[in-house]
Amino acid sequence: MGDLKSIKIDSEVKKRLDFQKKRSTYSVCIEQMLDYFEMTGIEPKLGQTPPAAIINKAIGETSAALYKRMDDVIKILRNIETTKIDVILHDLEDLKSGEFSNTPEVVENFDQDEIYRLIQLNETLAKNAKDKENVIQKLQVDIVYLKKNTNIQTIIETVEELLSENNLSIDTKGNLVLPREYRDLLIEKIKTISNV
């Protein structure tokens, strides 16, 4: 373990630090914070958002837009059902029973251009929904990959730091000796990083 130094901090900051450190030492807690800032490239002074939070926000916004578009499609389809399909079905029943009349209102209900436009709109909305779903799946895969790589990289750095020759002593045969306190500290750091 290195040379110990003391630092002065505000009492409120000490309370927050006590809450964050839980069972670890102040040195370990501060070191973990600094490692996190170095690893993610986040500058605390700038108030930056972590990459995972940005991706989660993008997924949430994309999902909200997608759900709104799906709701719009459902409303359009229900409107088509009530204004067009129901009328057509009633007219077909009338035709079957021989009560069909060729009034302008009935002819108007069979506007092919409008039906074709609605079919195209439905296909476009379905394609957009599928594209948005693909974007959401890709972002979810990116989040998993980011979390996995972040934990692995942090564990590797921690192991390298604690097992460096500067921290370990050498026995009479020239072998590096891992003291119990370093072993326990290493296990504790790996558990903390891995959320175990």
| Entry pTM | 0.28
Q: At which residue do the structure tokens 């921690």 appear? A: 158
**pLDDT score of 53 more than 80:** no
**Count of CB atoms situated within 10 Å of the CB of 138:** 11
CA 131/CA 8 separation, integer angstroms: 54
CA 44/CA 47 separation, integer angstroms: 5
Question: Which of the pair, 99 or 186, is modelled with greater confidence?
Answer: 186
* pLDDT tens per residue across span 102-157: 555 544 555 777 778 888 888 888 888 888 888 888 888 887 777 766 667 777 77
Chain centroid to Cα 70, Å, comes to 21
CA 25/CA 28 separation, integer angstroms: 5
pLDDT of residue 12: 92
Question: Facing residues of 170 across strands?
Answer: 176
